[in-house]
């Protein structure tokens, strides 16, 4: 089992102070808060929808506009909703 050191929430510097903005991947995607690799960029609603859309054929990608669309498809056992 791999353990990850507990991150600290930075104070100030114009960054949001919530768990979604803790750095998960220092070289990861740019977040709306200005940071890079925040938890939000890996598992936030927009990130999950984008991941599913990228894993689907072009014709079906538009079926997933919101997280609710992904959840509905997953409940219907649509394997493509599991990006």
5 or 42, higher pLDDT: 42
In a domain, 1, yes or no: no
In a domain, 9, yes or no: no
The Cβ of residue 81 has, within 10 Å, a number of other Cβ atoms equal to 20
In a domain, 11, yes or no: no
Provide the domain count of the chain. Answer: 1
In a domain, 4, yes or no: no
In a domain, 5, yes or no: no
Contact 7, 22 (CB under 8 A): yes
In a domain, 35, yes or no: yes
Contact 25, 31 (CB under 8 A): no
**Can you tell me the distance from the alpha carbon of 72 to that of 51, in angstroms, rounded to the nearest whole number?**
16
**Can you tell me the distance from the alpha carbon of 80 to that of 83, in angstroms, rounded to the nearest whole number?**
6
In a domain, 7, yes or no: no
Instruction: Give the tens place of pLDDT for each residue, 20-77.
Output: 888 989 999 999 888 999 999 999 999 999 888 888 776 566 688 899 998 998 899 8
For position 38, what pLDDT does the model report? 93
For position 47, what pLDDT does the model report? 92
Give residue 42's domain range.
20-82
Q: Check which CATH number belongs to the domain holding 68 and give it.
A: 3.30.420.40
């Amino acid at each position: 089992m791999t353990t990850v050191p507990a991150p600290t929430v930075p104070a100030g510097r114009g960054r949001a102070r919530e768990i979604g903005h803790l750095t998960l991947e220092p070289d990861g995607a740019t977040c709306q808060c200005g940071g890079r690799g925040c938890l939000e960029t890996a598992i936030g609603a927009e990130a999950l929808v984008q991941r599913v859309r990228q894993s689907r054929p072009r014709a079906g990608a538009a079926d997933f506009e919101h997280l609710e669309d992904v959840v509905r498809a997953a409940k219907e056992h649509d394997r493509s909703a599991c990006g």
